Chains A and B, each alone.
Chain A
Amino acid sequence: MSFGFVPAVVGVLGLAAIAGLLFALQRLRVRHRPVQVETALFWQQAVEESRARVLTQRFRHPWTYLLLLLISSLLWLSFAGLQGDAGRDRRYVVLLDGSAGMAHGDRFARAAAAAAEYAEGLPVDARTVLFCGGRTQTLLRAGEDALLLRRRLDDVGPVAAPSSTIAELFDIVRSRAEVPTTVCVVGDLPITADERALLPESCDLLRLAAPARTGGNVGVTALGVRPAASMRAEAVDVLVELSGAGGAELSPPALRLDGSAWSAVPVGESFDGGRRFRYVDVPAKGQLLEVSVGARDALSLDDAAAFTLPDRSRIPVAIGPDVPAVIRRVVATDPGLVVRAADAVVAVRMSGTTLEKKLPSLVLSDPQRVANAFLISHEEGLDPAAVLAQLYEDLGLNQIDAMAAAAAIGRDVSVGVRPASLRELAVWRPLLDPDHDFVRSRSFPLFVGLGLRWLAGVEPGPVRVAAGESVTVGDVEVAADARRARSFSERFVPRVAGRVQPAGAAPLHASLLDPVATGVPRAGAVEVDALSAGIGGGLDLVTILLLSALLLLAAEWVLFRSSRIP
């Protein structure tokens, strides 16, 4: 036996209370009138004679008995958590949107109250309530009492995260797909027609519309960088997009670099519902770029955004004395590289020679000693196949005409990888002969430039980091949303806006950048059936049972007081 509504201890205490109540009622009902008699002798005989008869004739007050039986049964069934059969073969999942858009005024509080009211009317064993704010949190498991939901709702609130309910929705449908499911979304979740079509027919999707937004709002809906169009190597162009809802005014945002105001006149461009601002030639040295709009509106979570700019400082390169001049020319013409031995972080040297410092190096190797025309030495602990697959493209090796090179040298041209304590990129020295096709090809400066950047550890950083969107954080082990993965390139998804620290990678600063949260309707979203009937659930079966028992108790008391029943 289990109790659907209360803990076991409370259930047992409740049963004891019922037993005590019935006992008290029975005492009230029988209420023997004490009489002292001299003829107890005959009464005893009479009772014994009557008792000797069949039980049914001894049975007294059948209507009273039926009334008591009905009351007791109602109480028992209500405490046992009797549930109707309707809907028991279906599971009900309530998704409470905890995204940033719900922080608009008191929308979340009202939506949470509506979700709780709706959940209370669902079958206890078939209902689940999930909070979808950045990461999913189960607020009410199947079989738990709705009182727990009210208590847990007090501990959650909207966070600076985009609407993530769609991902949870598909996760739910995929798990136990054979069970018909009714998903009720409480909040702003926009669902496109394609997304709706992906849901199985057994999944009913309903929406308990969140309270409407009131007042205007301006938010940062996009923030990103790209290499400076002016070709300045140490600068980037920054794009800031503002969206407005409710007729709010869109003026250029304020920018700060590492906490210091940075003033510039942006190039503005309007679009439907917003305005983009482009800031050119912003120096990129790894500073934190903060963007904020000055508007004081109903939603503050989208009023600011931040982005960690890439470090585009020139990479100092040390070049050995016997290195062919063609490489010196390539390094000299690359705006991101500079030949400077003093503080060099990478080197270019001939095989068998050493420099003052032991640096990651581009080595011109001897074909007689090295089997591979291109030999990549990477950090230990990485998957060599993954490293090869990634660098084959990133270093431009796929652009090399290997057949021509092999024909010129008279040997097979191959690429090899190996783990080592220090990064190294080795290439056969004969391939760099001036009259060789590889040197004359357009892939050669690309190979040298990208190779030196890889040796220096400079990764092409993300151009945009937004909450809810995946981002590549490098070729090291990262922890993404509690999952530890080990691969060459992990796509990381910051769930909530703010500074995040992936394991083994540089910190990131994710921004909200969610037009839906700001109030911009999502293009292509379809209307979901609104949940209108049944919200609040009316009276559930247990409440009806208890009310019926209460009415019968009152009727029984009236009948007893009027001496119609003993």
Chain B
Amino acid sequence: MPATAPTRRELFDPEFLAAASRFRILAKRVARGGVQAEQRSRHVGAGMEFRDYRGYVPGDDLRAIDWNIYRRLGRVFLRLFEEFEDLPVYLAPDVSGSMWQGENPRVRAGLRSTFALGLAALNQHDSVGLFPFADQLRVALPAKSGNVRKLRVAEALASQTPGGQTDFVASLGKFARMRLRRGLLVVVSDFFDPGGVDAVRESLARQRHRVVMVQLVRKSDRDPDLRGDLLLTDCESGREHDVSVTPDVLAAYRRAYEAHQAALNDFALQRQAGLVQVDVDEPVLPQLSQLFETGALVV
């Protein structure tokens, strides 16, 4: 029987909130078009922090002319200031069937991880959107900022229900087609797609956002405690496999799993994406802190 999502009270655990509030996400440059916030924007304009000078061209705002330089040099220069905007953070938790299996389902750690990263963004006035996915992606919350957003994100996460079969290509393809403002895409999943790791890589490669992957793992994923003649049933598709677990089969299983992991790592390196593995049987925040080991998650 599938597990239930963590309640809002579980997500708003004070200790959890306090610990999550220490996370910071620092964007090198955010795309233009956002609201004023703390992230350095690619747009240089009417901010508070001086950045540079440039020559005047007709049409420029006369208020930006540095008249002191004009008096000394007789030439007209404009003073340029840094603009600070918000970073759109798109949270994409996996709510497919595999996430809801077992006594301690991955979905609990997944939603808590999602909420922690959402909190980190909301705390620095970034906008946060929620896009849970399984066989299809769904827009639970459009990207907006504000403190009240924390409650809505928590409510939206707590209201998740088990989805269907994982389909990265369909779900993230739909997300790519939304042409949202460039930001940070946080994918929280076990990354077990029936299409294999290639489907995962293909779907993530199509994103125009920076990508952070939070992989929810268990120790038994690599070393399953299974022996003998088994009838293995895929928790999502219901497909059955007669497997006699022998040392040879177990070794082949490990090779397949490690190949999957290696492919994810390679993809993260090539794409300069973040990848963190969160053991669902361990506390989530200490593991997520790997992403913030330099003080902030720089994207």
Interface residues of A (CB under 8 A from B): 30-47, 49-50, 53, 57, 60, 566
B101 & A36 in contact (Cβ 8 Å cutoff): yes
Q: In the bound complex, what is the Cα–Cα distance between A46 and B256 (angstroms)? A: 7
Q: Which residues of B contact A41 (CB under 8 A)?
A: 192-194, 196, 256, 260
Nearest Cβ in chain A — how far from B258, in angstroms?
10
Q: Which residues of B contact A49 (CB under 8 A)?
A: 252, 255-256
B229 & A31 in contact (Cβ 8 Å cutoff): yes
B246 is an interface residue with CB less than 8 A from chain A = yes
B239 & A46 in contact (Cβ 8 Å cutoff): no
Most buried by B among A32, A39, A44: A39
A32 & B235 in contact (Cβ 8 Å cutoff): no
Q: Beyond the given A35-B226, A37-B235, A46-B256, could you list 16 further A-B residue pairs with CB under 8 A, ordered by the A residue number?
A: A36-B232, A36-B233, A36-B234, A38-B101, A38-B190, A38-B235, A40-B237, A40-B239, A42-B253, A42-B260, A45-B253, A47-B241, A47-B252, A49-B256, A50-B252, A60-B246
Q: Which residues of A contact B249 (CB under 8 A)?
A: 46-47, 50
B244 is an interface residue with CB less than 8 A from chain A = yes
For window 207-263 of B, CB contacts with A under 8 Å fall at 221, 224, 226, 228-237, 239, 241-244, 246, 248-250, 252-253, 255-257, 260
Q: Which residues of B contact A33 (CB under 8 A)?
A: 228-231
B145 is an interface residue with CB less than 8 A from chain A = no
B233 & A34 in contact (Cβ 8 Å cutoff): yes
Q: In the bound complex, what is the Cα–Cα distance between A40 and B249 (angstroms)? A: 13
Q: Which residues of A contact B98 (CB under 8 A)?
A: 38
- The answer to whether residues A40 and B232 also contact, given A35-B226, A47-B249, A50-B249 and a CB cut-off of 8 A, is yes
Select A32's contact among B194, B221, B229, B252, beta carbons within 8 Å: B229
Q: Lowest 10 CB-CB distances: which A-B pairs, in order?
A: A40-B234, A32-B231, A46-B252, A46-B253, A38-B98, A45-B256, A42-B256, A49-B252, A34-B231, A36-B233
B229 & A30 in contact (Cβ 8 Å cutoff): yes
A-B contact pairs, 14 of them (CB 8 A): A30-B229, A31-B229, A34-B230, A34-B231, A35-B233, A40-B234, A41-B193, A42-B257, A43-B232, A43-B241, A43-B253, A45-B253, A50-B249, A60-B244
Q: In the bound complex, what is the Cα–Cα distance between A78 and B285 (angstroms)? A: 71
- Tell me the nearest residue of chain B to A57, going by C-beta: B248
Q: Which residues of B contact A32 (CB under 8 A)?
A: 229-231, 242
Q: Which residues of A contact B243 (CB under 8 A)?
A: 43, 46-47
Q: In the bound complex, what is the Cα–Cα distance between A34 and B229 (angstroms)? A: 9
Q: In the bound complex, what is the Cα–Cα distance between A35 and B233 (angstroms)? A: 6
Q: Which residues of A contact B241 (CB under 8 A)?
A: 40, 43-44, 47
Q: In the bound complex, what is the Cα–Cα distance between A33 and B106 (angstroms)? A: 24
Q: Which residues of A contact B193 (CB under 8 A)?
A: 41
Q: In the bound complex, what is the Cα–Cα distance between A53 and B255 (angstroms)? A: 15
Nearest Cβ in chain B — how far from A530, in angstroms?
61
A39 & B230 in contact (Cβ 8 Å cutoff): no
Q: Which residues of B contact A38 (CB under 8 A)?
A: 98, 101, 106, 190, 192, 221, 235-236
A35 & B253 in contact (Cβ 8 Å cutoff): no
Q: Which residues of B contact A60 (CB under 8 A)?
A: 244, 246
B229 & A39 in contact (Cβ 8 Å cutoff): no
Nearest Cβ in chain A — how far from B260, in angstroms?
7
Most buried by B among A31, A43, A566: A43
Nearest Cβ in chain A — how far from B111, in angstroms?
17
Q: In the bound complex, what is the Cα–Cα distance between A40 and B196 (angstroms)? A: 11
- Tell me the nearest residue of chain B to A40, going by C-beta: B234
- Tell me the nearest residue of chain B to A33, going by C-beta: B230
Most buried by B among A30, A38, A41: A38
Nearest Cβ in chain A — how far from B214, in angstroms?
16
Q: Which residues of B contact A44 (CB under 8 A)?
A: 241
Nearest Cβ in chain B — how far from A41, in angstroms?
6
Nearest Cβ in chain A — how far from B232, in angstroms?
5
Q: In the bound complex, what is the Cα–Cα distance between A44 and B192 (angstroms)? A: 13
- Tell me the nearest residue of chain B to A53, going by C-beta: B248
- Tell me the nearest residue of chain A to B259, going by C-beta: A45
Nearest Cβ in chain B — how far from A366, in angstroms?
116
Q: Which residues of A contact B237 (CB under 8 A)?
A: 40
1/0 per residue B252-288: CB within 8 Å of A? 1101110010000000000000000000000000000
Q: In the bound complex, what is the Cα–Cα distance between A33 and B228 (angstroms)? A: 8
Q: Which residues of B contact A45 (CB under 8 A)?
A: 252-253, 256
Q: Which residues of B contact A36 (CB under 8 A)?
A: 101, 232-235
Q: In the bound complex, what is the Cα–Cα distance between A28 and B196 (angstroms)? A: 35
Most buried by A among B190, B196, B221, B243: B243
Q: Which residues of A contact B192 (CB under 8 A)?
A: 38-39, 41
Nearest Cβ in chain B — how far from A472, in angstroms?
87
1/0 per residue B171-191: CB within 8 Å of A? 000000000000000000010
- Tell me the nearest residue of chain B to A47, going by C-beta: B243
- The answer to whether residues A39 and B233 also contact, given A47-B243, A60-B244 and a CB cut-off of 8 A, is no
A37 & B231 in contact (Cβ 8 Å cutoff): no
Q: In the bound complex, what is the Cα–Cα distance between A60 and B250 (angstroms)? A: 15
- Tell me the nearest residue of chain B to A61, going by C-beta: B244
Q: Which residues of A contact B252 (CB under 8 A)?
A: 45-47, 49-50
- Tell me the nearest residue of chain B to A29, going by C-beta: B229
Q: In the bound complex, what is the Cα–Cα distance between A529 and B231 (angstroms)? A: 69
